Amino acid sequence: MTLSAGNKLLSALFIAGSALAFVPAAHAAAPAGAPLVTGLPDFTDLIDKVGPAVVNIRTTEKLKQGQGSPSEEEMQEFLRRFFGGAVPRGQDPRGRRSPQQPQEEEVQRGVGSGFLISADGFVLTNAHVVDGADEVLVTLTDRREFKAKVLGTDKRSDVAVLKLEAQKLPSLTIGDSGKIRVGEWVIAIGSPFNLDNTVTAGIISAKSRDTGEYLPLIQSDVAVNPGNSGGPLINMRGEVIGINSQIATLSGGYNGISFAVPIDEAMRVADQLKKTGRVTRGRLGVEIGEVSKEVAESLGLGKARGVEVARVEAGGPADKGGIKVGDIILKFNGQDIERTADLPRLVGSTAVGSKAVVTVWRQGQQKEIAVNIVALDDDKAARKPAVKKPAPEQVANAVGLHVSDLSEVQRKELDLSGGVLVDASEGAAARAGLRPGDLILQLNNVEVKDARQFNAMVAKLDPKKSAAVLVRRDETTQYVVIRPRQ
């Protein structure tokens, strides 16, 4: 085949491909060995439908004479969140302060995007787009401009709700971000670099990407740049499934990875912001850690699942309900906890004042505990334990630990009924990371009462199996796996 003939064939393939519809495999049976994807999507009708509901957002602020330039922290936030560029504050292009600067000057602060979710003027965007703005201006695709009222912002989820005084406006259909699939086509519409109504396309790269305590973000490869913040991520049915919020970048520009707030989470936040202007989240009062495969096997859990309770806030909901340090939380209100990020999100979305059922794994048995959820704003720091080191035992046990009993005063101060103090660590214990000053509370699901009982249990360990000890160090408690012999 000649080069010319090859080019003609390639052109024909592209022309033919552009006319083909994207057909999911579930809807069309393919012969054995045939490709599951037979064409590329055509976005034109989709964009005609959803485009008018996407808006451009400009913010301004009033600067007073002598107000300085943004801090390094603010610039880092700019690179991370990528809303539009700020203007120099009180300086001319050569870096000198303008002698004629007025007492107060209104300047453009940034540019972002948003979208209408109702015909009566409710707009969703990112909290960082409007944070600190004195005035928010919203422009529609038909060039109508409105001064928007900020009903509320939530920094934890990076969601804000605006209100326009207008009726019969175009709006987007809210989708179900819980049903998205990795690999499905999506589009983003926004105002990158103030180029309003810019459309980019790509696929969902991952679901529930953990980049924040309350944000299981949607990852995509849709091109997102400064000014896209707050714009919608839309599926092929024309439904908004996320709010474009962040990018992963070293330069501040698009590098192929962008993140969106799932619309399910955004709408839960928006409902509260519309009603009260703020978001109230539930709190359990525990500090948690990851459960490793080795810890799970040592505790009889089988596979690694749930989260380990490292601290329990004194007087908090978990403490009052009976949750203890060392418990493995497996479920919250019947929903499985697979990763550490799952529990804070489930608790946070639970109504304050409601009762929840927490399923824990304790000493080889599953137990259900009822707790009353309180508001996150009432969070209190747990007190720091103080340990005074008594005289050490002279002989190390089979795993290389020198341990001693706690005095009654220490147990009372630490709120413990048992446990032993590590005075020295060597051999297998040292390799596992145990060190002097650690408190050992459990060994293989059995509570440690004193040094004599602990050393007796260690002597009976199977040298071919790992052992899990529950260790308290300062304010944190976690399971540590040690092997008696290696």
Query: pLDDT tens for residues 231-289?
Result: 999 999 999 999 999 887 766 667 788 999 999 999 999 999 999 998 888 989 998 88
What is the pTM for the complete model shown? 0.64
Q: Is residue 443 part of a domain?
A: yes
Q: Is residue 29 part of a domain?
A: no
Last residue of a domain, one of 257, 279, 301: 279
- Active site positions, annotated: 128, 158, 229
3-class DSSP state for residue 5? Answer: helix
Q: Which contacts qualify for 20-25: CB closer than 8 Å, 24 or more apart?
A: 22/185, 22/236
**In 382-466, alpha helices (H):** 408-414, 427-432, 451-459
55/199 same-domain check: yes
In this structure, the strands spanning 173-174 and 239-247 are: parallel
- Residue 17 counted as an annotated binding residue: no
* Tally: H helices and E strands in the chain: 11, 27
Write the DSSP string, 175-201: --GGG--TT-EEEEEE-GGG--SEEEE
Given this model, what pLDDT does residue 433 score? 85
- Residue 128 counted as an annotated binding residue: yes
Whether the CB-CB separation of 242 and 263 falls below 8 Å is answered with: yes
pLDDT in tens, 315-358: 889 999 999 988 999 999 999 988 888 888 889 888 888 999 99
Distance CA 243, CA 263 (A): 7
Confidence band of 403 (pLDDT split at 50, 70, 90): confident
141/47 same-domain check: yes
410/466 same-domain check: yes
Calculate mean pLDDT across residues 140-167. Answer: 94
Q: Is residue 314 part of a domain?
A: yes
471/432 same-domain check: yes
Contacts of residue 70, defined as CB under 8 A and 6 or more positions apart, other chains included, come to 78, 86, 89
Q: Is residue 164 part of a domain?
A: yes
CATH number of domain containing 246: 2.40.10.120
Last residue of a domain, one of 232, 264, 279: 279
405/270 same-domain check: no
213/229 same-domain check: yes
Distance CA 376, CA 357 (A): 18
pLDDT in tens, 15-51: 333 333 334 434 445 456 667 667 788 999 999 999 9
298/275 same-domain check: no
62/122 same-domain check: yes
CATH number of domain containing 426: 2.30.42.10
340/358 same-domain check: yes
47/161 same-domain check: yes
Characterise 445 by phi-psi region: left (phi > 0), alpha (psi -120 to 50), beta (else).
Answer: left
Last residue of a domain, one of 279, 304, 324: 279
Calculate mean pLDDT across residues 361-386. Answer: 71
339/370 same-domain check: yes
Given this model, what pLDDT does residue 171 score? 96
How many domains does one find in the chain? 3
197/327 same-domain check: no
Distance CA 434, CA 445 (A): 18
Q: Which contacts qualify for 354-359: CB closer than 8 Å, 24 or more apart?
A: 354/282, 356/282, 356/284, 356/332, 357/331, 357/332, 357/333, 358/284, 358/318, 358/321, 358/323, 358/329, 358/331, 358/332, 359/329, 359/330, 359/331, 359/332, 359/334
pLDDT at 167 exceeding the cut of 70: yes
Given this model, what pLDDT does residue 196 score? 87
Q: Is residue 15 part of a domain?
A: no
Given this model, what pLDDT does residue 201 score? 95
Q: Is residue 183 part of a domain?
A: yes
Calculate mean pLDDT across residues 418-427. Answer: 86
- Residue 158 counted as an annotated binding residue: yes
Q: Is residue 22 part of a domain?
A: no
- Residue 228 counted as an annotated binding residue: yes
Given this model, what pLDDT does residue 64 score? 58
pLDDT at 101 exceeding the cut of 60: no
Question: What range does the domain containing 422 cover?
Answer: 401-482
- Residue 95 counted as an annotated binding residue: no
